[in-house]
Structure 1
Amino acid sequence: MLAVPEMGLQGLYIGSSPERSPVPSPPGSPRTQESCGIAPLTPSQSPKPETRVPQQAPFSVVVAIDFGTTSSGYAFSFASDPEAIHMMSFGYTARDYYHDLDPEEARDWLYFEKFKMKIHSTTDLTLKTQLEAVNGKKMPALEVFAHALRFFKEHALQELREQCPSLPEKDTVRWVLTVPAIWKQPAKQFMREAAYLAGLVSREDAEQLLIALEPEAASVYCRKLRLHQLMDLSSRTQSGGRLGERRSIDSSFRQAREQLRRSRHSRTFLVESGVGELWAELQAGDRYMVADCGGGTVDLTVHQLEQPHGTLKELYKASGGPFGAVGVDLAFEQLLCRIFGEDFIATFKRQRPAAWVDLTIAFEARKRTAAPHRAGALNISLPFSFIDFYRKQRGHNVETALRRSSVNFVKWSSQGMLRMSCEAMNELFQPTVNGIIQHIEALLSRPEVQGVKLLFLVGGFAESAVLQHAVQAVLGARGLRVVVPHDVGLTILKGAVLFGQAPGVVRVRRSPLTYGVGVLNRFVAGRHPPDKLLVRDGRRWCTDVFERFVAAEQSVALGEEVRRSYCPARPGQRRVLINLYCCAAEDARFITDPGVRKCGALSLELEPADGGSDSSGAPPGRREIRAAMQFGDTEIKVTAVDVSTNRSVRAAIDFLSN
């Protein structure tokens, strides 16, 4: 969440081979001079993609920013003392600040909450995507994200200067931003663009910024856990009946909350230099799942331990969905709509945004106390402005609305509060909790992940006793060992720092989609559809062929390269664009197949070519550009070389201007 002055962001303005040829644009389609100016050559002669282990530049300090849906924070560690992680969690600072503003003054501020979800849910995300504040006013999402990141940057650098005055800022800080693993490439690029705008790093020093996947960061941190730093729900479940199980889990939750409170008061956290005791029990080949239950999403990943104390291998592409803690908030809002009317709630949120924040604060406080076997009802305070606004809008009071409502499990208390039974509160959790459990069960049923022994439950929503109890009840019965770190809400933040220290810890990942380009191949009768036939200069070509770079769910090693060579279509060409296509299927044949879509563009910026032949003996005018793409990192990366000069070519993949 973020609160900024309404005017506060206004200044932040931020020739072809015998076998293949470029795909012509369909008749009538928009086409620029540069977008078609490239001719594919044959792929790299290497029978297998080349693997190069990325060389990491030395950095004096790693700063990780966990940019959450409901709360955020940052942490850092010095290279000279990597086991000491210094933390700062900002939680609900912006919300509380906005809440304390005078109503008139609040109109001059724009308050954004839960805006991280917008990046995940927007199917046509661009740099011009807008965000709507609680008062209905809009602003470019890129500026909002950049403003928040700039805030963290300034606070982190100030603290670094206080602890190490001699530390130069430039080129010494490695920044790490966390994102959900289920985010697609456009959302990851959006976060990187926001970081550039915020001044975290420059485009020329892009390697200073790492994008860390949240469940991966949690997985890296869980390797360090000692037994006293975790809560093993499976071992605490007693066999003496349901009552013992209730007391055990609820007691464990209270202990975890106390441990979390203590850890948050301590701003420095020491991690093990090796691995924790729980991890020491695992052997090479053992498998475990991490369920990152955050504010906006649930993010699932399954890792296999490749060697003791060593690297990790992803067994199945990241999965999950929009089943975060905000789902409980939305269920509460829907409940209010049933009682007071959907039109009234919409009007109240728009005209009394600060009062709406008051109401969400009151609900949040009660939501955190919800437990599966709690006794006694819960009271939720209604702001006076809500009560007064309802009376003026409807002509009767809220007590009358409750009596007339079909919702019989919410009453009006004599203290002027909504009184909700514990069963009713727990019901608000059920759609979200059920969605999480269903996603976990669906993933466990995949043949690729058979043999999973452990489930780490992490993320802010994992603090919920309701979620913990439900997960243990369903998945514990399947023999899965469910483990919750005591500092569950800070697991990702700490893990992101560790990931920044050693980005190569996850050695193999799974590609979430199939990526490739469109090319022309020689037409083969009986194999290619007649409607794909194109005759050019007397030659018969099959158009729209989908040439695959990497397949969905394919294992891709870190640093593994897919190489292709291309030739500019005309002498003197300075820029070439190659459209990229993607799909969920592994066996797509053509870029026109159902599910295949244009998802981005590979751009190559060329320097003026020297005259004469290149080093390979190619005649003048035939200029080969060799591009190498990496799909095994958290972002898709590309590099390119001009074969004639052996010089690097500026190459980039754009997923936001599609």
Structure 2
Amino acid sequence: MTGFISFGYEAKQSYLSISGQQARGMFFFDCFKFLHRNNFIKTLHIKSVNGKEMKALKVFTEALRFLKDDVLKTINENITGMKFTASDFTWVLTVPDSCDPSAKPFMRGAAIQAGIVTDGNTDNLIFALESEAALAWCKKLPADGFITETRINLHDLRSPEDQHIVIIAEDENIDFAVHEDLQGGRLKMLHRSSVNDLGGKSVDGKYKEFLREIFTDGVWDEYEKNYPTEVQRMMYEFSLLKKGDGDIQFCCPFNLGTLACKHQNIEQLFEGVEGASWNEGLIKISRNKLRSFFAQSLQGITHNVRKIINKGFNIGCIWLVGEFAQCVILRKHITDEFMEVCKVLCPFRPRESILNGAVMLGQH
């Protein structure tokens, strides 16, 4: 089996640049966060984009190994006179609030296999709940550190009696946590819950369903089967476009257009399709249609937040973080729905809030 090749954005770009046949022989894991209640022990393997599976422990171990090696390389390249090793540091691993109890020993085992810690120095490994990490970071930010349309006074948010809802909006799942501030800066967990399949990937799924409606008569299915890396490229492009709140347009891939033309004139495919149009090789999707892709996700998130508020918590603020929180449509919806109940705040660069908060927790 081919060894570890690349990680993160580089891995995505590498996978999208290779041919379909070569891609089918590789493992490309995208959004493999899976540590959720009643699900963790059963999920011994993780499925890659092309359907192939690998042991979960192997996937997590190699991801952690890359991060560890990259950190040490970066540090050692920028210092002189000494060389650091993994044992010189305290390492913080974040776990979802909704994780199964077996997540921590699993992650500890992956960290040991990755060389982050050894059986003899596991005290150098700290676990942090994602909501605690995100809240720790957000509460330290100045007032201008948030994406907001109104003036805010963070002093009002720091009362020892404040209770907060943290929404961690990711690609796969949405996690909710309620924390209360205690004296001395400590937090008390009052509630946690999670919903599956309402994150950014659910929006992507609606988009793909719409493309299948446009490219009928099996055109899209044939394209998806024969050109999987091109489909991935289209989905990656959409993941960037969906962050806005307006009309979007993109070039129709050559192979998709070729397959469509075998059945009928491609312009005819768009006749009678509400929310999409064709213009000399460009596909344009209207703002209203884009918003419709979010509808199910927004409805589910709103329902779960209202359930939490109706439990009688004294909520002072909703904090929105995570990958999916980069989408303007999501942020505006949550703000519009709950601004009369409490403050709604989303930090700039919301996907990094958990990471930055984890570093803070490790330092203190």
TM-score interval for Structure 1 and Structure 2 normalised by the shorter chain: 0.7 to 0.9
Aligned match of 1:483: 345
Q: Equivalences for 1:405-444 in 2 at 5 Å?
A: 407-414=273-280, 416-444=281-309
Aligned match of 1:304: 180
Aligned match of 1:96: 13
Match of 2:123 among 207, 223, 226: 207
SS in 2 for 1:220: helix
SS in 2 for 1:455: strand
What letter matches 2:51 in structure 1? G
Aligned match of 2:251: 381
Q: 1:218: Cα distance to partner?
A: 0.5
What letter matches 1:160 in structure 2? I
Match of 2:329 among 447, 461, 466: 466
Equivalent residue pairs, number: 361
Q: 1:122: Cα distance to partner?
A: 7.7
Q: Does 1:295 align with 2:171?
A: yes
SS in 2 for 1:313: strand
What letter matches 1:411 in structure 2? S
SS in 2 for 1:185: coil
Q: Deviations over 1:318-341 (max 9, x none)?
A: 112122211111111222233335
Aligned match of 1:196: 112
CA 1:319–1:348 in 2, change beyond 3 Å: closer, same or farther? Answer: same
Q: Does 1:222 align with 2:90?
A: no
Q: In 2, are the aligned partners of 1:328 and 1:432 still within 8 Å (CA)?
A: yes
Gaps of 5+ in 2: none
* CA distance, structure 1, for counterparts of residue 303 and residue 15 of structure 2: 37
Aligned match of 1:334: 209
Q: Deviations over 1:197-228 (max 9, x none)?
A: 32222234333222222111011112211122
TM-score (norm. length: structure 2): 0.88
Match of 2:270 among 402, 417, 423: 402
What letter matches 2:57 in structure 1? L
Q: Deviations over 1:105-146 (max 9, x none)?
A: 4444322222224x448836357x233333333322322222
What letter matches 1:413 in structure 2? N
Q: Deviations over 1:499-533 (max 9, x none)?
A: 1223xxxxxxxxxxxxxxxxxxxxxxxxxxxxxxx
Q: Equivalences for 1:336-375 in 2 at 5 Å?
A: 336-340=211-215, 345-369=220-244, 371=245, 374=246
Give aligned-pair identity as a percent.
28
Q: In 1, are the aligned partners of 2:137 and 2:356 still within 8 Å (CA)?
A: yes
Identify, as 1 or 2, the structure richer in strand. 1
* CA distance, structure 2, for counterparts of residue 454 and residue 462 of structure 1: 16
* CA distance, structure 2, for counterparts of residue 368 and residue 232 of structure 1: 16
Q: Does 1:144 align with 2:59?
A: yes
Aligned match of 2:26: 109
* CA distance, structure 2, for counterparts of residue 121 and residue 222 of structure 1: 26
Q: Equivalences for 1:245-284 in 2 at 5 Å?
A: 278-279=154-155, 282-284=158-160
SS in 1 for 2:39: coil
* CA distance, structure 1, for counterparts of residue 239 and residue 17 of structure 2: 17
* CA distance, structure 2, for counterparts of residue 343 and residue 187 of structure 1: 42
Q: 1:188: Cα distance to partner?
A: 4.1
* CA distance, structure 2, for counterparts of residue 482 and residue 234 of structure 1: 10
Q: 1:232: Cα distance to partner?
A: 4.1
Q: In 1, are the aligned partners of 2:157 and 2:316 still within 8 Å (CA)?
A: no
* CA distance, structure 2, for counterparts of residue 436 and residue 290 of structure 1: 12
* CA distance, structure 1, for counterparts of residue 194 and residue 167 of structure 2: 9
Q: 1:428: Cα distance to partner?
A: 0.6
SS in 2 for 1:365: helix
Q: In 2, are the aligned partners of 1:179 and 1:212 still within 8 Å (CA)?
A: yes
Q: Deviations over 1:39-64 (max 9, x none)?
A: xxxxxxxxxxxxxxxxxxxxxxxxxx
What letter matches 1:438 in structure 2? H
SS in 2 for 1:492: helix
Q: Does 1:313 align with 2:188?
A: yes
Q: 1:474: Cα distance to partner?
A: 0.9
Q: 1:446: Cα distance to partner?
A: 1.0
TM-score (norm. length: structure 1): 0.51
Identify, as 1 or 2, the structure richer in helix. 2
SS in 2 for 1:112: coil
Larger Rg: 1
What letter matches 1:462 in structure 2? A
Q: 1:482: Cα distance to partner?
A: 1.2
Q: In 2, are the aligned partners of 1:173 and 1:208 still within 8 Å (CA)?
A: yes
Q: In 2, are the aligned partners of 1:135 and 1:349 still within 8 Å (CA)?
A: no
* CA RMSD, 1 decimal: 2.8
* CA distance, structure 1, for counterparts of residue 221 and residue 114 of structure 2: 33
Q: 1:342: Cα distance to partner?
A: 9.5
SS in 1 for 2:340: helix
CA 1:366–1:378 in 2, change beyond 3 Å: closer, same or farther? Answer: same
Match of 2:47 among 100, 124, 132: 132
* CA distance, structure 2, for counterparts of residue 324 and residue 211 of structure 1: 24
Aligned match of 2:317: 454
* CA distance, structure 2, for counterparts of residue 408 and residue 498 of structure 1: 49
Aligned match of 1:55: none
Aligned match of 1:163: 78
* CA distance, structure 1, for counterparts of residue 207 and residue 105 of structure 2: 33
CA 1:124–1:211 in 2, change beyond 3 Å: closer, same or farther? Answer: closer
CA 1:396–1:192 in 2, change beyond 3 Å: closer, same or farther? Answer: farther
* CA distance, structure 2, for counterparts of residue 193 and residue 350 of structure 1: 37
